[in-house]
Amino acid sequence: MISCENVNNSNSVLEYRLFQIEKDLKEMSKLYVDSWRVSYWFVPKEHLDKMTYEESEEKWTEFVKGKDSFIYLCVGNGVVCGMAAVRRDPEENTFELYTLHILHSHKGKGIGKKLMKTVAQHFIDNQSTLNCKCLYLWAVPINTPAVSLYTKLGATILKYQTEYFAGIGLDEIGLHWTDLNLILNN
pLDDT at 150 over 80: yes
Q: What does the DSSP 8-state code read for residue 167? A: T
* Residue 159 near residue 174 (C-beta atoms within 8 A): yes
Residue-range definition of the domain harbouring residue 124: 3-185
What pTM did the predictor assign?
0.90
Environment class of residue 10 by beta-carbon count within 10 Å: exposed (0-12), middle (13-18) or buried (19+)?
exposed
Contact at 8 Å (CB) between 175 and 154?
A: no
In the predicted structure, residue 142 carries a pLDDT above the cut 50: yes
Q: Are 114 and 5 in contact (CB under 8 A)?
A: yes
How far apart CA 34 and CA 51 sit, in angstroms, is 9
Kindly tell me if the per-residue pLDDT of 11 is higher than 60.
no
The least confident of 2-16, 103-117, 166-180 is 2-16
Q: Please tell me the predicted confidence (pLDDT) of residue 153.
A: 98
Task: Please tell me the total count of domains within the chain.
Answer: 1
Residue 61 has pLDDT above 80, yes or no: yes
- Domain CATH for 83: 3.40.630.30
Q: Which residues contact 54 (CB under 8 A, 6 or more apart)?
A: none
Q: Which of 5-9, 23-27, 98-102, 109-113 has the lowest mean pLDDT?
A: 5-9
Burial 133-165 (b: 16+ CB within 10 A, else e): ebbbbbbbeebeebbebbeebbbeeeeeeeeee
